[in-house]
Amino acid sequence: MRSALAVFGIGLLFHSTGALANYIDNEGREWLTPDVTVGTSWTNIASTCSAATGKCTGVFTPGDGQPAIDLTGYTWATRDDVRDLYYEAAALSPGSLDSYNAAFSGPATALAFFSNFGYTFSTDNLGVMAAFTRTLDYSPEQGIFAYLGTVFGPNPLNPSGRDSFFGFAAWPINVPDITYAAYVYREVPEPGTLALAALGIVFVWLKRRRDRMPG
């Protein structure tokens, strides 16, 4: 997988435009569009987000000239978090990605995902979304490595380019890449919770106003 990613990187033409809104999943989690964190390494993300808990605190500075972004309140996703996201955002069949690595016939699955997330880089006939999860693993050949959640598919500008591919690739934790980003999300309050908070504020304001009235 690593060599395949490198080959695709050679054909890099442009990054995602970042025009898409953040995706909110069925669990009420708002996923930050990964292209705003592109150009990083796993170690760089870990300087802002805890690899143990996922909790992010402070300003994160990506590479490749991307502007810094405050990730306070976000959570760095695990490999399982991202797999569940793939099931939902690309409408995959239940169980089809339980092995973390699967190919699918036809471009529809990748295009469904790209419609929500865009891509971190594109060649003339291929769109790719590649971002780090906080999940680590070890092998005698590679040592400690990180899991990248990757989506390969047709370039949105060339939908007939090739079949789609979903999977997880291994990558050294301290090696940055101009096409790799981070999967982070934050909890979105339920509408009912926001309404209750608003009512509470109004109640406090009315009470203070009444207390200040003479007599």
Q: Could you please report the per-residue DSSP string of 145-159?
A: EEEEEEEEE--TTST
- Out of 12-26, 36-50, 90-104, 200-214, give the one with best mean pLDDT: 36-50
Burial of 111 (0-12, 13-18, 19+ CB in 10 A): middle
Look at residue 2 in the predicted model and tell me its pLDDT. 42
What confidence score (pLDDT) does residue 21 get? 76
pLDDT band at 173 (very low <50, low <70, confident <90, very high): very high
* Whether pLDDT at 8 is above 50: no
Q: Please state the rounded mean pLDDT for residues 166-183.
A: 90
Would you call 28 helix, strand, or coil by DSSP? coil
- Name the band, by pLDDT with cuts 50, 70 and 90, for residue 156: low
DSSP secondary-structure letter at 42?
H
pLDDT average, residue stretch 15-20: 47
- Which residues lie below 8 Å from residue 19, measured CB to CB, with a gap of 6+? 118
State residue 115's pLDDT score: 82
Shortest CA distance to 152 belongs to which of 124, 198, 91, 111? 111
Confidence of residue 214 (pLDDT cuts 50, 70, 90): low
Which one has a higher pLDDT value, 20 or 127? 127
Q: Considering only residues 209 and 51, tell me which one the structure prediction assigns the higher pLDDT.
A: 51
Rounded to an integer, what distance in angstroms lies between the CA atom of residue 48 and that of residue 184?
Answer: 11
- pLDDT value, residue 94: 87
For residue 205, is pLDDT > 60? no
- pLDDT for 49 beyond 70: yes
Report whether 154 contacts 129 (CB < 8 A): no
Residue with tokens 């790799």: 180
CA distances to 37, 57, 114 from 90, in Å: 22, 30, 8
Cα 103 from Cα 123, distance rounded (Å): 19
Q: Is residue 136 classed exposed, middle or buried when 0-12, 13-18 and 19+ CB atoms within 10 A define those classes? A: middle
pLDDT tens for 101-155 read: 887 766 677 778 888 887 888 777 778 889 999 999 999 988 999 999 998 877 6
CA nearest neighbour of 181 among 149, 206, 152, 204 = 149
Average pLDDT, the chain: 79
Cα dist from 159 to 18, 112, 125, 167, whole Å:
19, 11, 8, 20
Q: Which residue has the higher pLDDT, 1 or 61?
A: 61
Res. 158: pLDDT tops 60:
yes
